[in-house]
Structure 1
Amino acid sequence: MDQVTLVLVRHGESEGNVAAEAALRDDLERIDVPVRDPDIELSELGRRQAAAVGTWLAKQPADDQPDVTWTSPYRRARQTGQIALDKASLELPVLVDERLRDRDMGVTDMLTGRGIRDAYPE
């Protein structure tokens, strides 16, 4: 059997990550993002992080280059993968797999810990 290497990469910093940090810092109840969680894009830092992954990929020996990529349907994950592939000059199939998506927070989506405690004290 051939050896298979699996490389896992989390998405780069997103605008949602930035907003969540600001909400926690300011002790707010809600995380202020203008779009649904699956539609949140990468921050500028997240784009640089994704490009750094691409730089790393490009430096790997040819035998260690990926053959395919899988991504969640979330925009930030798809952006991370595409930026990394572009930076590495790799043209690979990109398979979107719903099972890789972020957790679903339900009614607590976009609430901070404080917001959850205030809305659902029980």
Structure 2
Amino acid sequence: MDLYVVRHAQPHRISAGTGGADPALTELGRRQAAALAEWFAGDPDRLPTRIVSSPMLRARETAEPLSAISGIGIDVDPRLAEFDIGASEYVPIEAMPGDRIARVEKALLTGEWGSHRFDPHEFRERVLNAFTDIAAGADGRPAVVVCHGGVLNVFLCDLAGAEPGVFFEPVYTSISRVVRSPAGPLEIASLNLAPHAAPDLAL
């Protein structure tokens, strides 16, 4: 089984408002998502038989070109939503001042993300349950999961046996590949790769 865990493409920034910031992709983000889809379509062995997405708009819009090119519908799993769901603003991590890795690390450990609050234990549990179910339902063919930096860090930290926190900083539409032999456990095969990224996509 090949499980491709993908971070969403670049979304718009949304300033603080009334809550529920759920940004769409920028024009660059749409081109990143299209390049991702073309990469999967370029090799029949990579083309997924299942696409699973977070319910958040930036993830769903990233999955849509792959769905169109493969003819496979998108299964939306609410358990893959990022920890910032319901927050009043969205600031891309690369636009944050200071040590952005430390900020995400603190959020995953304490549940504090600016003015937004969440239960880090509940977040971790729902993410791991989602990936357990996705892996259990795999038919041996590739599956693609489109989600978020916090979500994939929870899953891959757990898989690597690392302490909860930030395993790595994923770039937009990066692919982390997880494999499992018929009788073996899940294993990380590669992390944070973007083989589809041309220089003009600025990942």
Residue 80 (1) aligns with residue 62 (2): yes
Rg larger for = 1
| CA distance in structure 2 between the aligned counterparts of 1:15 and 1:111, rounded to whole angstroms | 8
Q: Which amino acid aligns with 1:67?
A: T
CA RMSD in angstroms comes to 3.0
Output the CA distance in 2 between the equivalents of 1:6 and 1:32.
Answer: 35
Structure 2 equivalent of residue 65 of structure 1: 47
User: Between Structure 1 and Structure 2, how many residues are aligned?
Assistant: 95
Letter in 2 for 1:63: D
| Paired letter, 1:65 | L
Change (3 A) 1:81 1:34: farther
Q: 1:95 to 1:11 in 2, by over 3 A?
A: same
What code does the residue aligned with 2:7 have? R
Counterparts in 2 of 1:35 and 1:75: CA distance versus 1, 3 Å: farther
Q: In the alignment, does 2:10 pair up with 1:13?
A: yes
Detail structure 1 runs of 4+ shifted over 4 Å in the superposition.
Answer: 32-35, 111-114
Q: CA deviation at 1:90?
A: 0.8
Structure 1 residues 84 and 44: alpha-carbon distance in aligned structure 2, compared to 1, 3 A threshold: same
Match of 1:37 in 2: 21
* Cα 1:109/1:56, change in 2 over 3 Å: same
Q: Look up the match of 1:98.
A: 78
Which stretches in structure 2 are left out of the alignment for 5+ residues?
98-113, 116-203
More helix by share: 1
1:85 and 1:93 map into 2 onto residues whose CA distance is 6
User: CA 1:105 to 1:67, structure 2 compared with 1: closer, same or farther past 3 Å?
Assistant: closer
TM-superposed deviation, 1:63:
3.0
Distance verdict in 2 for CA 1:66–1:97, change over 3 Å: same
| Kept after mapping to 1: 8 A contact 2:21/2:90 | no
- The answer to whether the 8 Å contact 1:52/1:84 transfers is no
Aligned to 1:110: 89
User: What displacement does 1:9 show?
Assistant: 1.2
